[in-house]
Amino acid sequence: MFLFQGVNDIKAEPGATADQLIAGYRRLADRVHAAGKCVAVATIAPYKGWPEWDPAGEAVRREVNTFLRTSGEFDAVTDFDRVLRSPDDPERILPAFDGGDHLHPNDKGMQAMADAVDLESLDCGSP
């Protein structure tokens, strides 16, 4: 399973906390692993400039991304945050990848995301 979610939970009103999101990721990973499958996860992409972005949500995004990168609870991690973020403002999508709303990547951004996925990492030995 490839798991890429979280930004909608953060930007919702009220937004989810990092602890709530992390608990949800853990539940999903546990269920997938219990079914004998592997779970690859992607970090939450930047979205500053979207009307519902705020510093509190950004703090949640960063905390969750740190968990996703370092927890070891997933069979693979693809870092969409690093792929999409602007080096000039890491809370924003790189302008060349921004679909115009500061949340959704354009075709080039989607291609960069696809290219970042290590397809071999999605095979964790399950039949």
pLDDT of res. 58? 97
Question: Under 8 Å CB-to-CB from 59, ≥6 apart: which residues?
Answer: 18
Q: What percent of the chain is modeled with pLDDT above 90? A: 89
Distance CA(67)–CA(105), nearest Å, equals 23
Average pLDDT over residues 58-78: 97
Question: How many domains would you assign to the chain?
Answer: 1
Q: What is the mean pLDDT of the chain?
A: 94
For the cut 90, the answer to whether the pLDDT of residue 125 exceeds it is: no
Q: What is the CATH number of the domain that holds 70?
A: 3.40.50.1110
What CA–CA distance (Å, rounded) separates 15 from 9?
6
pTM here?
Answer: 0.93
CB of 50 within 8 A of CB of 41?
A: no
pLDDT of residue 127: 46
**Res. 68 pLDDT band, cuts 50 70 90:** very high
Q: Is residue 14 part of a domain?
A: yes
Q: How confident is the model at residue 124 (pLDDT cuts 50, 70, 90)?
A: confident
Which residues span the domain enclosing 17? 2-122
**127 in a structural domain:** no
